[in-house]
A and B are shown apart, each in its own frame.
Chain A
Amino acid sequence: MSTEGVIYRVAGPVVTATGISPRMYDVVHVGNEKLMGEVIKIVGDYSIIQVYEDTTGIKPGEPVTNSGLPLAVELGPGLLTSVYDGIQRPLPVLREMTGDFIGRGATAPGLSRETKWDFVPAVAVGDEVSAGSVIGTVQEGPMVHKIMLPPNAQKGKVEEIKEGSFTVEEPVIKVDGVQYPMMQKWPVRQPRPVIEKYSPDVPLVTGLRVLDTMFPLAKGGAAAIPGAFGTGKTVTQQSLAKYSDADIVVYIGCGERGNEMTEVLTEFPALEDPRTGESLMKRTVLIANTSNMPVAAREASVYTGMTIAEYFRDMGYNVALMADSTSRWAEAMREISSRLEEMPGEEGYPAYLSGRLSEFYERACRGKSLCGEDGSISVIGAVSPPGGDLSEPVTQNTLRIVRVFWALDTKLRERRHFPTINWLTSYTMYDAQLGAWFKANVAENFPELKTWAMKVLQKEAELQEVVQMVGSDSLPDEQKIILEVAKMIREIFLQQNAYDPVDCFCPLNRQYKMLSLIKKYSDLADKALEGGVQVDKIAYLPVRQKFQQAKYEKDVDAELDAVEKDMDEQFSKLEA
């Protein structure tokens, strides 16, 4: 097999080479500057390569080298806290090499070759080990990084195992004559195997009331957040990354704004992880391929992130993977496809768009990994539909796959209702599976309470139509109360301030308490109405103002108790 060839043609990020006879998706190095690329099409002797860097100045006739290997990521200690581009080049290292702007042809390994890690063996000489076996651990910040045999390792007996300080490349174990270092490589486009996939029945708790109570996502599930620009996709994604109860967060900034990544890069290290007390960054891997970085690397970035997520799942961790935004990824596919002059499908997207999307989301799962541990990957994919039009291909193809849909709404944004998740159009299909967990872990009547709230909101939407026609004065009193209660659900419960130090995270029991209090208000109001009290008196009780403010108070739970007391008192004083 020949590995050396020459360039035949250059057109933007697509380069055609002859003489290398590669396999599909082999990584090749193009031109005198050795720009990295990937073979995406083979026509006779012509290999079509998507290049991950800018090809300006590259000429036909320059050399092309085939590495003979597919695009792979390096997995091992050092992943956490890293910031990579779409093909796992560490951005801080690139900055040292090429300065503040990203230069061409720079290569840097994903994992540092110098850093030494303290390896503590978990097996002894003579033990039997197989693919995925945990052979030892490394303490990486607050996390225990389990060192596993790669999924393609052969079963055998441990002949030698070391303890002490090693780099990721130094061998630490010998199994039937084969030595393994701590680091393993895995091709990004190939899912890492699991023994068994489970049905997801544990929620990913996010601390966002509208998500946890109304539209929960299961660990191992996939959710889509579509929304026009400015509706808060990124803020929602970042809140999830900060506060969800995942062990590891993989955040992929795919074709998004540079300043947004900077925000993540400055905020995450400063945020405290509520469980470990250490910086949130210590359990995070960031992939930043901004919109002006090469489009082919953007295409690869989601796979790079997913493979890293799978590696941590294999250790038995719950991983949350955020992809912001999958639309930019789809556009990268479209851009490359059009350079290849492929027959376009809908709106110029390639016909394989749907297939690629489902392959990606299918890698989300909760399951038993090769080492016998239960882990999960929950995927939260942002979708940026052009013009906010949800009928476009990326949104539609995504909705066919995911089971949770958090619809962001421009109208809500205009009235500064945050998070802008529309309670009428969003849905979750995990209600049935998660019901038991909520009953056992929050409250027996939690599912009913939620159904009640959704009914009130639904009723409000119907009544609003009437109000638009005839004004609210002509409604009967019970319906006026429904409107007031719905308003409370919206303003007190659904609205949440991601920037407020107290309100940004709301634990499940507090969510339950708040919603219960609104229900109580509603019940008391109905009773007062029956007793002949005027609507205006009920609607404008001073306790509402206090309730509204309670979520921002430092001691919010005590404040809620006070609200309940005031509520009882003020209702009892109401007279017909």
Chain B
Amino acid sequence: MEAVAKEYKTIQNIQGPLVFVKTEEPVGYKELVKVRLSDGSFKNGEVLDSADGMVVIQIFEGTTGIDRSASVRFLGDTMKMPVSKDMLGRVLSGSAKPLDGGAEIVPDKMLDIAGAAINPWARDSPADFIETGISTIDGMNTLVRGQKLPIFSASGLPHNDIALQIARQAKVRGENEEFAVVFIALGITNEEKQKFMSEFERTGALKNAVVFLNLADDPAVERIATPRLGLTTAEYMAFELGMQVLVIMTDITNYCEALRQVGAAREEVPGRRGYPGYMYTDLAQLYERAGKIKGKAGSITQIPILTMPGADITHPIPDLSGYITEGQIVLTMDLHRNGIYPPVNVSSSLSRLMNNGIGEGKTRDDHKAVSDQLYASYAEGKDLRGLVAIVGKDSLSAKDRKLLDFADLFEDRVVRQGLYEDRSIERTLDIAWEILAELDIDQLTRIKKSLIQTYLPKKE
């Protein structure tokens, strides 16, 4: 490393979060930068583009107050963060500074926050069922350890309650391993923060959690770094300390807005709806940090939460996320308006890794068949609702009327549950059989005879 870093007073342009500086010595790509303002305060930044003689810096805290006489010092190193076992129970800012009045983190290790890609050869298949106690997830969109399963929500829906319920109830059955939650808040409001924090403290969940808070009024550039700080912490706890880590990130939409803001300031060629063309790769660099590694005890499971602008699932943010994550839990206003919590729209929800984590020895032998049957019959029942609106219930055949009633029963018994109700997977499947019993036996086309004989409640 160079001895003393040189200080430049050669700022050329300042533009949005970017500062252009003339330099004499070469500067590394993504090197960290300290800018001293004329009032003596400091701001931090990172090199985005380094050419011979000219460097573009992105300032994390925003460029407010920087003038051309500010001095720029290159630190000769890329962004690293301190990690330590003692981070559990801590509340940190979006740039990993303590917010809880506690001491600075005493590092066991300094880690590069960008992380590296897990070698696909080193990955282990996620196959351990995580019981969240929520029927629509456990029964029909099962979460497994090492998966990334986002919640696609919309403004006005109780996604935060669901996130908290999962954080509270999630467990791998029959095992008693060290479990930790890394909670990453991205651009959430102060009010939301209060709610999360009081819930964490009330339920005692905080002692097993690390909280990173980037609030709505924190700078956009910091928002881009916050999830990386959280995930670096998660990787350390999972792959070096052997813990089972659940990462909850909310709200990814705010993160993507920050990406767009910075991209626009850099005058990049925009992709769809003004979001940068590399947004897929960028999101992948966050989501793909979930997983399991062969020969290591720990795992990272991610539940990112995003609000779909205009509840539009084809919007670039949910769309690109859906292509990277292993499924999605979609919330819908229709159910919410009907007073059903959690308002999970199972028809458009999916867990890609479900089949790895269910069945005999993991959950129950009838799990897959029951889930398929629920999906199919519910879809048919929902279609009939549209028809009934036109032709009336009377013109339906007896079988169709049963399907129509089934759809209502399904929403009322399987989907609906209490905010603090922790349903076991057996209970979920039993409820499913109870409502399937209301259909005719020849309507159960997705279930093998032998399973029907074992599980279908006998009618008097």
Contact = CB atoms under 8 A, between A and B. Distances in A.
| B partners with A | yes
A26 B324 CA distance: 32
Contact of A348 (B114, B271, B294): B271
A261 B126 CA distance: 12
Contacts of A57: 28-31, 78
B395 A100 contact: no
Interface in A240-273: 253, 255, 257-263, 265-266
Nearest to A234: B352
Contacts of A260: 326, 352
- B contact face: mostly helix, strand, loop, or mixed: mixed
Interface string B102-139: 00000000001011111111111110000000000000
A291 B281 contact: yes
Interface in B11-58: 26-31, 48-52
A468 B390 contact: yes
Interface in B238-283: 239, 268-272, 277-278, 280-281
Contact of A259 (B123, B270, B379): B123
B123 A338 contact: no
B293 interface: yes
A348 B379 contact: no
Interface string A426-455: 000000000000000000000000000000
A415 B29 CA distance: 49
Interface stretch (B88-96, B158-166, B422-430, B442-450): B442-450
A401 to B, nearest CB: 23
Interface stretch (A3-11, A112-120, A129-137, A198-206): A3-11
A292 B352 CA distance: 19
B391 A470 contact: yes
A73 B309 CA distance: 45
A101 B115 contact: yes
Interface-central residue, B284, B380, B449, by most chain A CB under 10 Å: B284
A258 B120 CA distance: 6
Nearest to B278: A335
A499 B371 CA distance: 14
Given A57-B30, A60-B52, A338-B269, A416 B278 contact: no
A265 B117 CA distance: 17
Interface stretch (A172-180, A300-308, A544-552): A544-552
Select the residue from A55, A57, A99 with max chain B CB neighbours within 10 A: A57
A576 interface: no
Contact of B125 (A229, A255, A257, A262): A262
Interface in B375-419: 375-376, 379-380, 386-387, 390-391, 395-397
A16 B289 CA distance: 30
Contacts of B270: 348
Contacts of B322: 228-230
A388 interface: yes
Contacts of A211: none
A230 B328 contact: yes
A472 to B, nearest CB: 7
B288 interface: yes
B87 interface: no
Contacts of A544: 442
Contacts of B278: 295, 335, 338
Contact of A471 (B115, B121, B122, B395): B395
A102 B116 contact: yes
B319 interface: yes
A83 B285 contact: no
A94 B125 CA distance: 19
Interface in A258-316: 258-263, 265-266, 288, 290-293, 295
Contact of B50 (A10, A100, A389): A10
Given A8-B52, A335-B278, A335-B281, A259 B146 contact: yes
A253 B116 CA distance: 18
Interface string A455-485: 0000000000001111111100000000000
Contact of A331 (B26, B280, B313, B386): B280
B29 A55 contact: yes
Interface residues of B, number: 84
Contact of B269 (A8, A344, A410): A344
Contact of A101 (B119, B313, B328): B119
Contact of B350 (A56, A91, A230, A331): A230
B333 interface: no
B314 interface: yes
Contacts of B352: 230, 260
B288 A290 contact: yes
Interface in A325-350: 328, 331, 334-335, 338, 341, 344, 347-348
A472 B116 CA distance: 58
Interface string A1-32: 00000001111100010000000000000000
A3 B239 CA distance: 42
B204 to A, nearest CB: 32
B387 A471 contact: yes
Nearest to B378: A415
Nearest to B328: A230
A95 to B, nearest CB: 5
A94 B387 CA distance: 59
A386 B320 contact: yes
A61 B26 contact: yes
A228 B115 CA distance: 29
B118 A56 contact: no
B28 A59 contact: yes
B380 A11 contact: no
B370 to A, nearest CB: 12
Contacts of A8: 51-52
Nearest to B323: A229
Interface in A511-559: 540, 544-545, 548-549, 552
Nearest to B441: A545
A259 B125 contact: yes
B342 interface: no
A83 B119 CA distance: 11
Contacts of B320: 386
B348 interface: yes
B277 A348 contact: yes
Contacts of B380: 415
A284 B392 CA distance: 57
Given A230-B328, A335-B281, A414 B121 contact: no
Given A384-B323, A416-B372, A472 B272 contact: no
B123 A499 contact: no
B318 to A, nearest CB: 9
B26 A59 contact: yes
A290 B390 contact: no
Contacts of A95: 119, 121-122
Contact of B285 (A292, A338, A472): A292
B277 A416 contact: no
A312 B347 CA distance: 43
Contact of B316 (A11, A59, A100, A386): A386
A229 B122 contact: no
Contacts of B284: 255, 290-292
Given A335-B281, A387-B319, A9 B78 contact: no
Nearest to B388: A471
B355 interface: yes
Contact of B314 (A10, A386, A413): A386
9 contacts: A10-B29, A57-B31, A61-B26, A100-B294, A102-B119, A255-B284, A259-B290, A263-B356, A266-B125
Given A95-B119, A415-B380, 6 more contacts: A55-B30, A101-B116, A259-B326, A291-B280, A291-B284, A416-B372
Interface of B: 26-31, 48-52, 78, 112, 114-126, 146-147, 239, 268-272, 277-278, 280-281, 284-285, 288-291, 293-294, 296, 313-316, 319-320, 322-324, 326-328, 347-348, 350, 352-353, 355-356, 368, 372, 375-376, 379-380, 386-387, 390-391, 395-397, 442, 445-446, 448-449
Q: Which 8 A-B pairs have the closest CB atoms?
A: A387-B314, A291-B284, A9-B51, A91-B121, A101-B116, A292-B288, A415-B379, A229-B322
